Structure 1
Amino acid sequence: MRGLLAVALVAAAISPLQVAPAEAIALPSGFQEQVVYSGLTQPTNIEFSPDGRVFVAEKGGRIKVFDDLADTTPTLFADLSTNVHNVWDRGLLGMALAPNFPANPWVYVLYTYDAPPGQTAPVWNDACPNANNGLCVVTGQLSRLQANGNVMTGTEQVLIRDWCQQYPSHSIGDLAFGADGMLYVTGGDGASFSAVDYGNLPSGSPTNPCTDPANEGGALRAQDLRTTGDETQLDGALLRLDPATGAAAPGNPLIGSADADARRIVAHGLRNPFRLTMRPGTNEAWISDTGWNTWEEVDRVIDPTSAVTNFGWPCYEGAGRNSGYESVGLALCTGFYNQGAAAHTQPFVAWNHSSKLVPGEACPTGSSSSTGVAFYPTSGGPYPAAYQGAVFFADYSRNCIWAALPTTPGGLPSSSNVMTFGSAASSPVDLEVGPGGELYYADLNGGAIRRIRYFPGNQPPDAVIDATPTQGPTPLAVSFNATGSTDADPADDGSLTYAWDFTDDGTTDSTSATPSFTYTTAGTYTARLTVTDTLGATDTATVTISAGNQAPTAVMTTPVVGTTWKVGDTIAFSGTATDPQQGTLPASALAWHLRMQHCSDGGSCHVHSIQDFTGVASGSFIAPDHEYPSYLELELVATDAQGLTHSVVRRLDPLTVSLTFASNPSGLQLTVGSTAATTPFTRTVIQGSANTISAPSPQVSAGTNYAFSTWSDAGAQSHVITAPTTPATYTATYAPGAPETFGNTQIGSQTDSGDINYMNGSRFVTGSSPLAINSMSVYVRGVQAAPNNQFQLAIYADASGSPAARVASSASGPLTANSWNTRPVSATLAANTAYWLMYNTNGDNNMAFTIGSAGQGGWGTAAQPFGTWPATFGPSVKSTYRFSIYATAGVDTTAPTVTSTVPGAGATNVGLTTPITVQFSEPMTAASITSANLELRTGGNLVNRTVSYDAAANRATITPAAALTASTGYSVTVKGGATGVGDLAGNKLAADYTFSFTTGVVSQVLGYDQIGTQTDSDDMNFMNGSRFTTGSAAMSVTQAFVYMKSVQASPANQGQIAIYTDVSGSPGALVASTGSGTLTANSWNSMAIAATLSPNTSYWLMYNTNGNNNLSYDTASAGSGAWSVASRPFGTWPPSFGSSVLSNFKISIYVR
C-alpha cells in the first residue's frame, strides 16, 4: 500500500455502546461488535488507563479522555494541532501511557512535526503547495505530556525531534512500553511511495532535501545504520529508549557506539512500522509494517538487547528481494545480498497483495496495508481458550482482522495457525486489548472506537433504527422502523420486543415495531430504541431528529463534472450553500475534503486523506502524483447553525497514458517502479507521474551475457521518467558483456594434499545478476605423470552451507603444474546465490588455496571414483579453505555452424514434399533467417519459397511454394559472412554453407510427413503411432521415416518402425517392421521396410525406442493416435498389437 490513513467525516455527537449493523463485520460465532465511542475525528490510537479512563488520539493532534466506557462527553486532554502536520498520512499517530499511570503521570506522544529539520512549527500549517513533490519536508517528534486529572499540565517535554520526511506517507509510527519499563518507538522511512527513492528525488532542484549521502537517502534511510561515514538517522527503525530522557536505554546492542542515534536503534530495515505492541510479560516487540506494492508484514524482534535486527527494507519486501531496488544495483543492497539470506530477518507473517492470507476467506485481495497488532492475554479473559496468547493483526485496506493462534493455548502464536477473525471491519488503524480482555480498534473513517465482545450463551440482539424524515418544519411527522433489528439466536427469531423513547425523557412512548411520532415543538431530539430478546438481553440504538430545521444545500460550482487532471495540474474549486432557515451560508460554514481513492487492478479501492480546506468558499490544489489505478474525490460539506449538514462529492479521474518498455535484444528483464517484467510489456500510468525505470545489468539470454548500454531517452541505467501525454516506448539497448569471473582468481600461497578421487572445492556467492558460465579454471601446484594427471571440474548448488545438487560439470583433461588449468563448462547461475566450485583428480595433483572464512571450503567424506560426478553431493567435511578455483562468464565469440540438414548432403530419391530443414549449433537471430539468406536453387535458378525459424529447436525450414520436380537436382545455400545468418550475440556463420540433393520419381506417401509442433515424452519401450488410410491404388513401400525431437546418448538411441493393420479403429496384426536404427535428434530418421499396402485401407504406423527419445506430433481427430497399454521390450514387435490407448496424436511418421 502506498500510503495509509484515510478521511473521516465528523459525526454530530458522541454516543456510547452502539451496536454496529449486523452486516458491518463478519465475526466467528458468539462474537459481536459494538461502537463504544463515536463522533471522533480520525481516531488513530487508543490507550486504557488502570483507573478506567480511556485516552483517544486524533490524527489532527487532539487527545481526548473519557472517564469510562459509558462516558459520552470526553474532556480535551491536550491540543497539539499547532505542532502536528496533518496532511495525507502524517499526523498524531502514536501514544502510550507510562507504566503505573496515573501515579507516573506521563502521556507519551509521537507525531509528524510541522517543520523541516532545524525550523520551528508551524511552517506548513497543514497545507503544502504540493505535498507529494518531495519538497514538503517535515520531521517527527517524540514528547511526553504531564497529566493532571483529565488535562495536560505544564508544557510539552520534547524527547526527540528527528525523522526527516520528504513524502507524505511512511511518517512516524507507534509507541509501547516493554516489561523492562523501557519505551519502544517506531518511525517510517519518509520516502516516496510512487518511485524508487534512494535520495535521487525529486528530480528537480533541490534533490534530496534531507541531505543524505549519495545513494543512501529515501527508503535507504532504513539501512542507514549500516553506513558509518555519516551520522545515523532514525528512519525505518525500532528504538529502545530511557523514557525519562529519550536517550538510548541501558543494554541496547550498540550502547557503546559514539553515535547517539545508533545507540538508540535495536531493529531497522522497516518501511512504515505503523503499529507496535509488546508480547505480554516480555520485551518481544511485534511490529505491523505497511508494505509497498507486493507484501505486508508483521515482524517480531525476539530480544531487543541481543543484536540489532534487520528486516531488510528496501532491499527486501516480505520474504524476498525487492526487484524495484535490486535492479538499480545500489551498493547498500548489493552488499546486503552478499551477506546471504541469513542477514535478512524474515517476517513472522507476510501476505501478498494478490493473494488471500487464509484460503477461501471473505477478505478481499488487491490493495493491502498492515495497520494493527495486539496480543490477547495468555490466560483468563472472556474469549475462548484457543485465543489465549494469540496475536491479532489488521489490514486497513482489506478491512480485515486476523488472529494467529498458538498451537497450545497460552503459548507462542503460530504463523501457520492463522484464522480470519473479522472480515468487513471498519477501517482499523489500531488494535488494543482493553480491560476485561476484549479487543478494541480505532475506526479511522467512521470516527469511532469499536469493541468486539464474546457471548458464550445467549446472544444479545442487534438494535437497528430507521427514521424518515429526520428533519423538517414543525409539525414534523416521523415514521420509525425497528424491523432491521436482529438476534443471532434462532429462538429469538421473530420474538424481539421494542420500546421507543422519542424524546429521550426516559419514558416508553411506543412498543410497536413501526411506530410514528409527530414533533410539534422545534428542537433537536434523540429518539431511542431498546430491543429485548426472549431472555431479557437488550441493545439500544439512537437517531437524532431535528424538528423545525432543515439541512442546507451545498452546490459545487467547480470543478465541473467530468473534470480530468494530470500530475501537477492546478485544480480550482468553488462552491456555495443555501439554508431554508438561514439563507445563503457564509464561507465559514463550508468545508472541503480532498481524498485519493487508491484502487487495485481488480477494482477494490481504499481511501487516502490528502488535505482539508475549512471555512473557505473557493481555493485550489495541485493534482498529486500517485500510482494508477486511482482517482481524486473532492467533497464539499455545508453545515448550518444547528449542525445539520449536506455534502456533494465529485469524482475527478486522471488522464492516463500507455508506456511500452522494450529491450534490444528482446526478452530481457526491465523494472518499472516496484516490479520487473520481461520485455516487451506495457504499463498504464497517470500523465505527469514520476516512474522509476531500471535496466538490470548484466543479464543472461540464450547463454549470452549482456551488459546495459543505453536507454532510448538517453537516461541513466536507472532513472526517473515523467509520463508524457501521448503513448511512448522506452527501449533499453544491451551489448554482449565483457568476461566476468566468479570464484577465487588469486593463486593461493598454500598447497592442498590428498586430493586423489576426492571432490574438493569452495563456496562462493554470485553478484546481482545471473552469469552464463562457459568455463572453469583451477590452479594446481604439482602434477603426476600420465595417466595420473587428469582432472575435471563441477558446479554444485548450495543447501544450508553445504554442496547439494550438481549444476554442471566438465569433461576430463590433462593438468599442467604451476598453472591455471581450464575446461569448458556450460551453466547459467542465478544472481545473489551461493554455489560450490568443485575439483576432482585421478592422481596426487594438488590445488593451491588460502585460508578463508569458516565453512567456505568442503570436500566429500569418501573417495569418488574419478570420471563421475554424483547428482547430489552427499555428506561433506567443512573447512576454511578458499581454493584457487573460479568460473568464467565470457562474451560469446563463437560463430554458429550448421550441424545437420534434411535432406542430407548428397541425398537421392528425396520426396517431392519432404521438408527442407537446416539445424544450427546455437540460437540464431530470427531476423537473419530470411529467404535471402537461405537459397533453394535448381539449374541455377531460385525456387519460390518461404523460410521460417523455430527458435526452440534452433532450426530453419525452407518451404517451396509448390512440390519439387521429380528426378531433379537441387542445391541449398545458407549465407554466411557479414550479411549472412547470425547468432544472438551477433556472430555470423563463417562462410556460405551449401548442400545438394536429388528428388526421386513420383511416389506415394502414407502417413504424416510434416514436423509436428509438439513433443511426446516417456516413449521408452512403448509402441506409439498414428492411423492413416491409403489412396485409391495399392502401395509398395520400401522406406519408413520418423522425426525425432530429442535423442539420448548411445546406446539408448535406437529406434524401429512397424506397420499394423487396423481393426475397428485400433492396431491389429503386424504387417511389416524395420530393424533397429540409430536415431538423430531434430531430424527425419529413415529405415528400410518392405510391404505392399491395399488401396482405401487404414493402417497404423508405429514406433518403438530403447530410450527417452521423443518424437514430434500435432493434434488431430480423436482416435487418430494410439499406444500400447504396457511397455513392450525394444527389439520385438508382437504379431498382434493387443490392448491400446487411443488419442488424438498425429505423429510425424510416414512410409513410401
Structure 2
Amino acid sequence: MTRPRRPLRTMLAVALVAGGLSALAHAQPAAATTLPTGFQEQIVFSGLNQPTNIEFAPDGRVFVAEKGGRVKVYDNLADPTPTVFADLSTNVFNVWDRGLLGLALPPDFPANPYVYVLYTYDAPPGQTAPYWNDNCGDANNGQCVVQGRLSRLQAAGNVMTGSEQVLITDWCQQFPSHSIGDLKFGADGMLYVTGGDGASFSATDYGQLGTPRNPCADPPSAVGGVMNPPTAEGGALRSQDVRSTGDPTSLDGAVLRLNPATGAAAAGNPLSGSADANARRIVAHGLRNPFRMTIRPGTNEVWAGDVGWNVWEEVNRVTNPTAGVTNFGWPCYEGMGVMGSYDGANLNLCESLYTAGGHAQPYYTYNHTGAVVPGENCGNGGDAISGLAFYPTSGGNYPAAYAGGLFFADYSRNCIWAMKPTSPGGLPSTAAIEAFGQAAAGPVDLAMGPGNELYYVDLGGTVRRIRYFPGNQPPVAAFSATPVAGQPLRLDFDAAASTDADPADQGRLTYAWDFTNDGSTDATGVTTSFTYPASGSYTAKLTVTDTLGAGDTHLVTIQPGRTAPVATIDTPAASTTWKVGDQIGFTGHGSDAEQGTLPASALSWRLRMHHCESVGNCHVHEVQQWAGAAGGTFVAPDHEYPSYLELELTATDADGLSNTVSRQLDPKTVDLTFRSNPAGLSLNVGAFTGPTPFTRTVIQGSTNTVSAPSPQSAGGSVNTFANWSDGGANSHVITAPTAAATYTATFTSVAGCADSFGYVCTTQTGQPFAAADGAVLPLTGDDAVTPVSLPFPFRLYGQEYGSAWVSTNGFVSFADPGQAGLVAVNSALPNSSAPNAAVYPFWDDLVQRADSTVRTGVSGTAPNRKFTVEWRNSGYYGSNSGRVRFSAVFGEDGSITYHYADLSTADREEGNSATVGIEDGSGTVGLAYSVDQPVLRDGTTVTFSPPGGTPPPTTGTISGVVSANGSPLAGATLTLSPSGRTATSAGNGSYQFTAVPAGAYTVSGTAPGGFTGSSPVTVTAGGAHTVNLTLTGPPPSSGDYTKTTQARPYVSTADGTVLPVTGDDAVGQVTLPFGFEFYGQQQTTAWVSTNGVLSFVNPGGATPENTALPTAALPNAALYPYWDDLVQRSGSVIRTKVVGSAPNRQFVVDWFNTGMYGSSSARISAQVVLSESGEIAFNYADLASSARERGDSATVGIEDATGANAVQHSLNQGVLNNGEAIVFTPN
C-alpha cells in the first residue's frame, strides 16, 4: 500500500560566523559527533558564555550555569532567548578551572522555590569578595588563594528575588584547579555536594608551596610555617583531613550530605556525633577533583567522576552514604594502586593508611595512555572525566540495553561512553562499555532531560541533545555560501554537506532554497546561486527532505555590503617564549572596512593553557579573560611540560560581525637528569616514577617535587636513602633552572633480600629455563585474566590456596583480583591495592600478540611436584617488536622460582618498568627483588623461599563469580551464613569474603528481579575456596493461559507517553517498566505496530494482513488486541502509561482513535494492559456497531515465540464490545 509522508521536522543550524554570513542560533542537529545507529545529536541552545551545568525544572524550564557567574533560564526547550535568573559574577572567581560549576534544583521546584549554586568565591579565608576581581597575576604558582561557596537563591518567576542565602563558605583552594564540583539531590531529599582538594596539579603538594606557604593553615604549622614530611597535612592531603582529628576539618576532596534548608549535616550522617560541624557533613573523602557526580535513580548512591593526575581517571561509587565514611584514598592512592610520588614523600597520613588499609577502590578506572573501548576514535592523554548520568530503568525510548546504564564523558578526549548493565535491574558493568559519542563538543556536564534523552553541556557555548530515532532518521541540513563579501553580493550556495544516516536516503535527498525566507521556494538542487542587490540583512533558508518526508531546515543570515573586522595581535611577537613568572604584556587592535578602527570596547581577549599528555595531544584550561581592552599583562603560569599558552583576540564590529585570531606562546624548557647511586633505583619527579637514570623536560622556573622511595630492594641488596646532591631532604622542591642540571640521590646499600614474614630471595646464574608445555590458557590481547586450578594446595604467607588467577600483565594472584587483575601499571611492594596474595615474575604492561601464549604445566610427583606458569614470547605495550619470555615455578614445598629467557639487552626487557617480587593477601607484607630496575638476565633465576615453622593459619577465604542467565551479575547481595556477613558483587560479578574462620557455611545470593541461589562451603584454615554462584529467577509458569471475558473500564492514557509510531505500517520499540513473563520467558522490551500488534521480539516490520493463530510466520511472541490493517490518521495516537506501584504495576499500550485502511471515517480504540502479576488484558472503546469495527477482519489473541502455541479469541469475527475486556491469566 502507499506510505504516507511523515511530518516535516524543522530545526535550525549551528551558530557560525563567516564574514558577512552567520547562522541563526536555535535548536538544530549537529553532525560532528559519531553516535550509534539511530541516534542523532541536536544543538538545543547556543550563544552561551562557557556554560558549565544544566538543570531541568519539572515545569519545563531549563536552567544553565555559566562559568563567569550567571545563571540563565529558558522557558522551555524551544525558547531561543534566555533570561538572566541571577548574576553572581561579582562574587565568582572566574580564573583557570575556577568559577560557577555546580547547579541544582530541588525535586519539588518551583513549589520549593530555590536554586542551589556552588562556585569559587573571590576571596581568601577571612576576606570579602571581590578580592582578586578575576585578575590574579600568578594563580598557578599558588598566589591566588580563594574559597568555595554553596548558596541558595530564591526564585520569583524567572528571576532571583531577595539576597543570596549563603549555606557554606569553606573549601580553601590555593591552586586554580581542583576547585568545587557538583550538586545533586538524592532520593532522600538531601543535597549532595562534591569539592576538590585545591592543591597543585604540577607538583607533589603537601602544603610546602607558594608564598606564603601553607595559606590554608593546615597542620602542623600556621600560615607561612614550614611544612615538611612526615607530619605535613596540607595541599592534596586536605582530602584526608577527616582522619586527622586534632584540627578543624576542611571540606576539600570530599562528598557532603546536607540538609538543603540550612547547609548543616543531614540527619543520619556517619559522623553525626562529631563535635566538628564539617566532619558531620562528610560521607566520603579521599578525592582529587570530583568535578561531576550523579545519583543512581531511586537511590542515594553517589557515583562521582574523579579527575586524576597523569595516569588514571576514576568512577567512584558511594553505595550507602549513611552506613559509614568512604575513603577513596587520594593522594595516597590513584586508580587501583599507590600514588608513587606521595608514597615516596613518606607522609604520616599516607603511611598510616597503607598500614591500616580499608580505602575504597574505584568502581571503574581508565588509563590516560589507553583506549576505554578498543578501536574507538577518542584519542588518549590529558584526560578529564567531566560528566555522569544514569539512563532510567524504564520510560525512555532508547534501546533496552541502555536501561539502568551509566553515561560518562571526558572533556579532554571529547567522548561519551555508555556503561550498560548485563542483566535487567543490574549495575552498570565494566565489561559492557560502548563508545557512545565520539568526537563530541567539549562535554562538561551530562544530564537526562525531558523524554529521558541525554543532554550535555559544551563549554564552548552550546547545550546538546542526543535523540534516538527507532525508525527513519531525519536528515541534517547544511550549506556553504561564497564569497562572504560584496555589493551586490552574488552567492554560490552548496548543500553537499547535508547528510542523512539512513542508507535508503543516500543520494535521494531533495533540496528547497528560500533565499529571503519569504515562504517561497526559489531554487532546488544541491547547488544554486542568488544575487542580493543591496546592503541589509537577509535570511537564507535551506530545507532538506528525505524519502519518507522527514526534513531539516538550516537558516543563515546574509549581510551583503558588510564585512567582518580584522583583529590583529600587535604584541607579544610570535617568537616570544616565556619561563614561569615572566610578566608578558599584550596589545592589539581591530579594523573594519566600513567602520574604520574599532574602539577598545570592541576587543576581547582570552588566555588558554594547552596541557598536553604528549606533544600534540592536549586539552585546554581557560586561564583568564579580558573584555573591552586594547591590551594588558599576565604572569606566565607554573605548569607541567608539555604545555603552551594561547592568547586569543576577538574584534566585534557594530553589526555584530567578528573575527578572532590567536597566537601560540611556547615555554622555555630545560632538561633535568635524575640519577641514583647505585644506578637503577626508582625516583619520583612530580607524578612520574621511574628507574634511574632518566631525563625530564620541564619549563624553566617551574616547581618540581622530587623524592626517593626508601628502602628499595634491588639485585639482592636493600638500599636506604642517604642524601640528594643538591642538599635537599628526601622529598623537596626543585625550581627548574635555566640551564640543564643533574640531581643524584645516594643510597646506602647492604646485602640482603628478606621481608618481615621470613621470606628470603636469592639468585642463581647459569640455570636452564623452566618451560610449561601443558595447557595453553585462553589469554589473548591486552589486559586479560583467567582462573586456573592448582594441582596441589599452595601456601603463600601462611595461607593455603587451591586456585589462582593468571594475568597477561605478568603476575599470578591467589585471590580473585577482579578489575585489578587487569592493572598494567606496576608498583612497589607491598601495596594494599589489589592485586594481592600474588607473585610477580614480570609485572608490566604486557600484550599477548599473535605469536604469544601463556601456558601451564605440572612436573614431578608428590610431595615434590612443581606447577609452572610460562609467558612465552609476550609483547609489551608501546612496542610492536619487543618480546619477553619468563616463567614462575611453584614448588610443593612453598618455594617460588622465576626464570627468564630470550631477553635482549634493552632496559625494558631487563625489567626497567617491571616489578619482580611476592606479596601477601592484605598488601601489607611483601618482598621485591626489583622495581623498575633493568637487573633481569637470561639464565639467572630469582627464588623466594618461605620461612620454616610458620604458625598455622586459622581462617580461609571464599571468593567466586555471581552469574545469571549465563552472564556475570553485578550488584548482587551475597550473605554468608551463619556469620551474617554480606558482600556485593562487582561489575564483573566477582565477590570475596576474607578472614573466614574454619567451619561450615552457606553462601546465598539475591538480585533484583527475584533472582536467588545458594551453595554450601566448608572453609579450612588457610584455604582459599571458590564458590561460583548461579542465580535463577522465579520459576516459569506452565506457559498456558486461561482466557475469560470481563467487564472492565477503558484505561485513560491522556497523560501518558506518546510513541513516535505514526502513519501506516510503522513499528516502534519500547522498554517495559518491569520484567514481564510471557510463555515462561522474561521480557524487558517490546515492539508496537500501527497494525494493532505488540511483539516481544523484533517483528522485522508491520504486517497488515492478519492470519489465524498460531502461525510460524512473524510476528511471534506477540499480543494481538486488534490485528488488522490499521492507519494512524489525524487525531490518532499510540500512547503508553504506567499505572500503580510495585509490585502491582500495570503497563498500558493504547491504540487511541486509530483509523482503518480503506475507510476515511472508521475509528477504533484498543489497548493492551500488562500486569506485574503476569495477567494480560485487552480493552476496547469507541467501537461502532459495524461488523468491521467490532473485528470482522481482525485477529484477537496471544501467541508464543515459536508460533506453535496460542490462545485465539476471534478470527475475522465481529464479536468485540466496548467495555468488555478479554483477559488472559497464566496458569
Superposition TM-score tier, normalisation by shorter sequence: 0.5 to 0.7
Amino acid at match of 1:461: P
Shift of 1:194: 0.2
Q: What SS class does the counterpart of residue 436 from structure 1 fall into? A: helix
Question: Greater relative contact order (Cα 8 A, min sep 6): structure 1 or 2?
Answer: 2
1:407/1:841 CA distance change after superposition, 3 Å? closer
Shift of 1:878: 7.2
Distance 1:137 1:525 in 2: 50
Amino acid at match of 1:582: Q
Shift of 1:702: 2.1
Contact 1:459/1:489 (<8 A) preserved:
yes
1:534/1:856 CA distance change after superposition, 3 Å? closer
Question: In the TM superposition, what are the counterparts of 1:332-343 in structure 2 within 5 Å?
Answer: 332-340=349-357, 343=358
Q: What SS class does the counterpart of residue 376 from structure 2 fall into? A: coil
- Which residue of the other structure, out of 699, 707, 716, is the alignment partner of 2:720? 707
- Which residue of the other structure, out of 200, 205, 221, is the alignment partner of 2:212? 205
Distance 2:254 2:515 in 1: 54
Shift of 1:219: 0.6
Question: In the alignment, does 2:348 pair up with 1:331?
Answer: yes
Amino acid at match of 2:482: T
| Match in the other structure for 1:573 | 586
Distance 1:136 1:615 in 2: 24
Contact 1:571/1:623 (<8 A) preserved:
yes
- Which residue of the other structure, out of 820, 829, 834, is the alignment partner of 2:925? 834
RMSD: 3.2
Question: In the alignment, does 2:417 pair up with 1:417?
Answer: no
| Match in the other structure for 2:824 | none
Distance 2:995 2:44 in 1: 64
Shift of 1:513: 2.4
Contact 2:755/2:925 (<8 A) preserved:
no
Distance 1:184 1:14 in 2: 38
| Match in the other structure for 1:635 | 648
- Which residue of the other structure, out of 667, 678, 687, is the alignment partner of 2:680? 667
1:120/1:807 CA distance change after superposition, 3 Å? farther
- Which residue of the other structure, out of 149, 155, 164, is the alignment partner of 2:163? 155
Question: In the alignment, does 2:600 pair up with 1:555?
Answer: no
| Match in the other structure for 1:459 | 473
Contact 2:52/2:445 (<8 A) preserved:
yes
Contact 1:857/1:878 (<8 A) preserved:
no
Question: In the TM superposition, what are the counterparts of 1:233-632 in structure 2 within 5 Å?
Answer: 233-340=250-357, 343-445=358-460, 447-470=461-484, 472-601=485-614, 603-632=616-645
| Match in the other structure for 1:42 | 50
Amino acid at match of 1:252: N
Shift of 1:856: 12
Distance 2:795 2:412 in 1: 54
Larger radius of gyration: 1
1:208/1:739 CA distance change after superposition, 3 Å? farther
| Match in the other structure for 1:727 | 740
Q: What SS class does the counterpart of residue 619 from structure 2 fall into? A: strand
Distance 1:834 1:442 in 2: 47
Distance 1:167 1:207 in 2: 12
Amino acid at match of 1:339: A
Q: What SS class does the counterpart of residue 342 from structure 2 fall into? A: helix
Distance 2:256 2:504 in 1: 54
Distance 1:501 1:253 in 2: 65
1:393/1:762 CA distance change after superposition, 3 Å? same
Runs of at least 5 residues in structure 2 that lack an aligned partner in the other structure = 1-14, 221-226, 759-793, 800-826, 831-889, 898-915, 928-944, 955-980, 982-992, 1000-1017, 1024-1227
Question: In the TM superposition, what are the counterparts of 1:144-183 in structure 2 within 5 Å?
Answer: 144-183=152-191
Distance 1:155 1:238 in 2: 27
- Which residue of the other structure, out of 35, 52, 67, is the alignment partner of 1:59? 67
Segment of structure 1 superposing worse, 522-531 or 436-445: 522-531
Shift of 1:805: 9.2
Distance 2:260 2:592 in 1: 53
Contact 1:387/1:409 (<8 A) preserved:
no
- The number of aligned residues is 784
TM-score by length of 1: 0.65
Question: In the alignment, does 2:124 pair up with 1:116?
Answer: yes
Q: Deviations over 1:968-1002 (max 9, x none)?
A: xxxxxxxxxxxxxxxxxxxxxxxxxxxxxxxxxxx
| Match in the other structure for 2:814 | none
| Match in the other structure for 1:877 | 1021
Contact 2:757/2:947 (<8 A) preserved:
no
Shift of 1:732: 0.5
Segment of structure 1 superposing worse, 238-247 or 693-702: 693-702
- Which residue of the other structure, out of 183, 200, 217, is the alignment partner of 1:192? 200
Q: Deviations over 1:298-357 (max 9, x none)?
A: 1111100101111111111111111111111111111111123xx121111110000111
1:13/1:115 CA distance change after superposition, 3 Å? farther
Shift of 1:13: 8.1
Amino acid at match of 2:345: V
Amino acid at match of 1:128: C
Contact 2:218/2:233 (<8 A) preserved:
no
Shift of 1:809: 10
TM-score by length of 2: 0.61
Question: In the TM superposition, what are the counterparts of 1:839-854 in structure 2 within 5 Å?
Answer: none
Q: What SS class does the counterpart of residue 169 from structure 2 fall into? A: strand
Shift of 1:687: 1.2
1:509/1:309 CA distance change after superposition, 3 Å? same
Distance 2:646 2:411 in 1: 19
Q: What SS class does the counterpart of residue 723 from structure 2 fall into? A: strand
1:207/1:264 CA distance change after superposition, 3 Å? closer
Shift of 1:684: 1.0
Q: Deviations over 1:129-164 (max 9, x none)?
A: 111111200100000111111111111110000000
Distance 1:415 1:523 in 2: 57
| Match in the other structure for 1:102 | 110
Q: What SS class does the counterpart of residue 51 from structure 1 fall into? A: coil
1:456/1:859 CA distance change after superposition, 3 Å? closer
Amino acid at match of 2:47: G
Distance 1:348 1:333 in 2: 21
Question: In the TM superposition, what are the counterparts of 1:637-786 in structure 2 within 5 Å?
Answer: 637-736=650-749, 743=756
Amino acid at match of 1:87: V
1:510/1:391 CA distance change after superposition, 3 Å? same
Runs of at least 5 residues in structure 1 that lack an aligned partner in the other structure = 1-7, 746-757, 772-802, 811-826, 862-873, 880-1152
| Match in the other structure for 1:92 | 100
Q: Deviations over 1:97-129 (max 9, x none)?
A: 112111111110100111111111110111101
Amino acid at match of 1:27: L
Segment of structure 1 superposing worse, 115-124 or 546-555: 546-555
Contact 1:378/1:411 (<8 A) preserved:
no
Contact 1:284/1:302 (<8 A) preserved:
yes
Shift of 1:761: 8.9
Contact 1:390/1:406 (<8 A) preserved:
yes
Distance 1:239 1:262 in 2: 9
Q: What SS class does the counterpart of residue 286 from structure 1 fall into? A: strand
Contact 2:27/2:78 (<8 A) preserved:
yes
Q: What SS class does the counterpart of residue 683 from structure 2 fall into? A: strand
Amino acid at match of 2:212: S
Distance 1:182 1:390 in 2: 23
